[in-house]
Amino acid sequence: MQGLRDQLRRVASEHMATDPAHDLAHLDRVWANAQRIAADITNVDKPVLLAACYLHDLVNLPKDAPNRAKASTLAADAAGPILYALGFAPEAIAAARHAIKAHSFSAGIPPKTPESRILRDADRLDALGAIGIARCFAVSGALGRTFYDPGDPFASGRELDDTAFALDHWPAKLLRLPEDMLTEAGRALAQERCARMLRFIDGLAEEIGTTGPRGWADPT
């Protein structure tokens, strides 16, 4: 497995953009998350899971791109020839491609295999916790969005607008991710990481001289 991982990392590094939220370190974290989740699940094809983790962002389109929903399918298409060259069997290639297609939030493709469910949870975990905070602000900065609304940081008296304010993305999507996790381990890890994010919010509220938000601990 280590030899295969080295090969996949090398291939992935040749395709990664300069986006710090979707770089080689992101792929390493997703693989680490996937291994933690897979430990409690039977009948997991580890080489397929490994391949899907390292090739799922071969094509990464900006969050505001009109064809964003097609990114995972394009990545799956790009992964096929790579996996063939690495000696994967046709069934394994198909399984890895399905996992890559189904990992995307915007694509809306239901994961049908253990590997696809694990990858989806593992990738979403990287949007939460301490690293999730860093990634959220990195992506928002690249898109020209401000950290928060100075007049109403926690949207107490306005509608959420995560196209304008990075912090609005938390209750709009990120803090809701635990309920959408497909594995027990993924859900537990997501809840832990959301708790870490809420502690950050408490500190932020204190530093900017306001009270923390109501209801963010349970955004459903």
pLDDT band with cut points at 50, 70 and 90 for residue 219? low
13 and 79 together in one domain: yes
92 inside domain:
yes
Residues near 98 by Cβ (< 8 Å), separated by ≥ 6? 76, 111, 112, 113, 116
pLDDT band with cut points at 50, 70 and 90 for residue 216? confident
105 and 134 together in one domain: no
83 and 153 together in one domain: no
With a cut of 70, say whether residue 190 has pLDDT above it. Answer: yes
pLDDT band with cut points at 50, 70 and 90 for residue 2? confident
With a cut of 70, say whether residue 220 has pLDDT above it. Answer: no
How many domains does the chain contain in total?
A: 2
31 and 74 together in one domain: yes
Of 53-57, 139-143, 161-165, 201-205, minimum mean pLDDT range: 139-143
pLDDT digits (tens, 9 = 90+) for 94-142: 999 999 999 987 778 899 999 999 999 999 999 999 999 999 999 999 8
Mean pLDDT, residues 141-148 taken together: 93
99 and 11 together in one domain: yes
**Domain boundary residue among 109, 141, 176?**
109
89 and 183 together in one domain: no
With a cut of 60, say whether residue 15 has pLDDT above it. Answer: yes
Q: What is the DSSP letter of 110?
A: P
Helices (H), 18-113: 24-38, 46-55, 71-85, 90-102
With a cut of 80, say whether residue 43 has pLDDT above it. Answer: yes
Mean pLDDT, residues 168-191 taken together: 97
Query: What is the percent of the chain with per-residue pLDDT over 70, rounded to a whole number?
Result: 96
Tell me what pLDDT residue 1 has: 80
89 and 158 together in one domain: no
pLDDT band with cut points at 50, 70 and 90 for residue 68? confident
Give the structural domain span for 193: 129-207
The domain that contains 192 carries what CATH number? 1.10.3210.50
164 inside domain:
yes
34 inside domain:
yes
The total of other beta-carbon atoms located within 10 Å of residue 132's CB is 23
220 inside domain:
no
101 and 20 together in one domain: yes
7 and 79 together in one domain: yes
Q: Is the CB of residue 68 less than 8 Å from the CB of residue 74?
A: no
Distance CA(148)–CA(53), nearest Å, equals 32
**Domain boundary residue among 76, 109, 142?**
109
24 inside domain:
yes
140 and 90 together in one domain: no
116 inside domain:
no
